[in-house]
Amino acid sequence: MNVLVLGSGGREHALAWKIGQSPNLDKLYAMPGNPGTAQIGCNIAGSPNDFNRVKEVVVEHSIDMVVVGPEEPLVKGLADYFKQDSALKDILFIGPESRGAALEGSKQFAKEFMLKHSIPTAAFRSFTSDSIAEADEFLESLSAPYVLKADGLAAGKGVLICQSLEQAKQELRNMLGGKFGSAGNTVVIEQFLSGIEVSMFILTDGTDYLLLPEAKDYKRIGDGDKGPNTGGMGAVSPVPFVDTEFCAKVRSKIIEPTLAGLRADGIPYKGFIFFGLMNCAGNPYVIEYNVRMGDPETEAVLTRIQSDLLGHLVACAKGKLKEETLEISQSMALTVVCVSAGYPDSYSKGKVISGNDLLYCNTSSGPVKVFHSGTSSSADKTLLTAGGRVLAITANNHSLCNNIAETIDVCRQQAYVQIENISYEGKTYRNDIGLDLINLSEL
Ligand code: AMP
Ligand code: GLY
């Protein structure tokens, strides 16, 4: 079958890489893709948000299945567009319609959904510029730190954690005043949850689901979790505290009530759900839903899946996930993201990346894969930086004598050696990916 992956980052490169291993794949296309996906299939110019262009490509290349990487086209209704178009309605499609995508597209919708279906999450209220006095009162009833969230999509930047009441009140006004554009017209204020975060993922057809390997994301730019939030600077899978007991709680208190809630509310859902969770003293709480896979978590998680992802995706789109079994390797995957100097603020692009044959995941069957997050290729095929996050380097190793600390150590050595061998001006990365889990595993 012919598959079209929409998106251009490391997540999409990893999806293309995994789908590319399927015996059922004829041809893989990526729109717009990146130089990494170009090694696996064919890149096609265009934006996933340009629905007419997506249709043109699907028809021209006889695409059988569309896999949507990022959330934006889903929130804007790409799945609805397919469903309503006579030429597209039978194309297999991975990603929810806009009503399901609102789980990510509107924090207020997500919080109300969780409240309605008794899914554990932080206490909250939402406010607009007409209810600033009530918002101030609600803030005064909470204790520091204060969590403020823009309701709409804000490129992962719409959450502020304020240490003082005064700062929280000021930021509330900044958000309602347009700091995040119209995404902040409604602001959700919620209780601060203390604990350890973990990202968990399912592929669901709305009834049945496959639980993918979990991952820890490293969100801050600097070592020791210092500095501003980014899209993600690294990931590790598995996460030591996600044991059988924790997983059982996530399934029964979060995943299954979410799927039951979607069904009860008449919202069909075929695609990935990413649960951003906080482990509070052994109990999982939902911090956020995403309607897609995580980035860079995907670059770690997919290297641990042994079964045929394309087969699972086809079953998902056909509503037949009940018949599928996911095979997960007992290995550890550790991803380090190399970014441009200045990221997550302003940074320059177009820096030459060198490292020769080290620069692609599919040229190596060894333990280290290089996924492209923000790269481009010049006319003479020179690889250039083209984004804040540039490359995601993943090392995957089987557990050594079940010793997590030692396995993390080996993954770290391999990933960081690869990074040393790749160069571009301004290459920046965290040095501490995985170190906290060594300490956790020794507790
Ligand atoms: P989100 O975009 O909703 O994932 O939020 C970004 C980050 O803010 C999360 O990864 C958490 O680290 C933090 N955060 C969000 N909500 C809360 C909360 N209620 N309590 C503590 N930290 C939070
Ligand atoms: N790494 C977090 C995200 O993809 O939203």
Please state, in angstroms and as integers, the Cα–Cα distance from residue 24 to each residue in 14, 27, 64, 308, 310, following that order. 18, 9, 11, 9, 7
- Greatest mean pLDDT range, 43-52, 151-160, 372-381, 413-422: 43-52
At 376, give phi and psi (nearest 5°): -140, 170
Which SS3 state, helix, strand or coil, does residue 29 take?
A: strand
Task: Please give the number of the atom of ligand 1 that sits closest to the Cα of 194.
Answer: 21
Count the neighbouring beta carbons within 10 Å of the beta carbon of residue 85.
13
Pairing, β 196-204 against β 271-280: antiparallel
Of 6, 7, 4, 8, nearest to 375 by C-alpha is: 8
Q: How confident is the model at residue 300 (pLDDT cuts 50, 70, 90)?
A: very high
pLDDT of residue 357: 61
Residue nearest to atom 7 of ligand 1 (CA): 159
pLDDT of residue 438: 84
Of 227, 238, 170, nearest to 200 by C-alpha is: 238
Ligand 2 mean position, distance from CA 295 (Å): 5
Contact yes or no for 16/30 (Cβ under 8 A):
yes
Of 417, 409, 394, 397, nearest to 337 by C-alpha is: 394
Q: How far is residue 245's CA from residue 222's CA, in Å, rounded to a whole number?
A: 32
Contact yes or no for 365/428 (Cβ under 8 A):
no
Pairing, β 124-127 against β 2-7: unpaired
pLDDT of residue 221: 96
Alpha helices in 90-164 (DSSP H): 98-105, 107-116, 132-141
pLDDT of residue 363: 46
pLDDT tens by residue, 394-406: 999 987 656 888 8
Tell me, using a 6 A CB cutoff, whether residue 192 lines ligand 1.
yes
Q: How far is residue 49's CA from residue 262's CA, in Å, rounded to a whole number?
A: 25
Tell me, using a 6 A CB cutoff, whether residue 197 lines ligand 1.
yes
pLDDT of residue 155: 76
| Average confidence (pLDDT) over 202-221 | 97
Q: How far is residue 125's CA from residue 108's CA, in Å, rounded to a whole number?
A: 8
pLDDT more than 70, % of the chain: 96
At 362, give phi and psi (nearest 5°): -85, -5
Q: How confident is the model at residue 361 (pLDDT cuts 50, 70, 90)?
A: low
| Average confidence (pLDDT) over 98-114 | 95
Q: Which residue's structure tokens are 């669901």? A: 204
Which SS3 state, helix, strand or coil, does residue 439 take?
A: helix
Lowest mean pLDDT among 36-45, 350-359, 434-443: 434-443
Q: Concatenate the DSSP letters of all residues of 269-302 into one string.
A: --EEEEEEEEEETTEEEEEEEESS--TTHHHHHG
Q: How confident is the model at residue 417 (pLDDT cuts 50, 70, 90)?
A: very high
Q: How far is residue 190's CA from residue 175's CA, in Å, rounded to a whole number?
A: 15
More confident of the two residues 302 and 443: 302
pLDDT of residue 129: 87
Q: How far is residue 233's CA from residue 292's CA, in Å, rounded to a whole number?
A: 18
Lowest mean pLDDT among 85-89, 183-187, 261-265, 299-303: 183-187
| Average confidence (pLDDT) over 125-147 | 90
Number of helices followed by number of strands (H, E) in the chain:
15, 22
Pocket of ligand 2 (CB under 6 A): 156, 217, 231-232, 290, 294-295, 297
Task: Please give the number of the atom of ligand 1 that sits closest to the Cα of 122.
Answer: 19
| Average confidence (pLDDT) over 302-317 | 98
Q: Which residue's structure tokens are 């160069």? A: 423
Ligand 1 mean position, distance from CA 172 (Å): 16
> What pTM does this model have?
0.94
Q: How far is residue 154's CA from residue 105's CA, in Å, rounded to a whole number?
A: 9
| Average confidence (pLDDT) over 341-365 | 80
Of 147, 299, 300, 294, nearest to 230 by C-alpha is: 294
| Average confidence (pLDDT) over 300-325 | 97
More confident of the two residues 152 and 94: 94
Q: How far is residue 232's CA from residue 156's CA, in Å, rounded to a whole number?
A: 10
Burial 388-424 (b: 16+ CB within 10 A, else e): bbbbbbbbbbeeeeeebbebbbbbbebbbebbeebeb
Assess whether pLDDT exceeds 90 at residue 182: no
Tell me, using a 6 A CB cutoff, whether residue 287 lines ligand 1.
yes
pLDDT tens by residue, 11-32: 999 999 999 999 999 999 999 9
pLDDT tens by residue, 56-82: 999 999 999 999 999 999 999 999 999
Task: Please give the number of the atom of ligand 2 that sits closest to the Cα of 11.
Answer: 4
Residue nearest to atom 4 of ligand 1 (CA): 288
| Average confidence (pLDDT) over 151-177 | 88
Lookup: tokens for 90: 């039978």
pLDDT of residue 358: 63
Mean per-residue pLDDT over the chain, rounded: 93
pLDDT of residue 443: 47
Assess whether pLDDT exceeds 60 at residue 42: yes
Q: Is the dihedral of CA 293, 49, 35, 307 positive or negative?
A: positive
Q: Is the dihedral of CA 250, 251, 256, 262 positive or negative?
A: positive
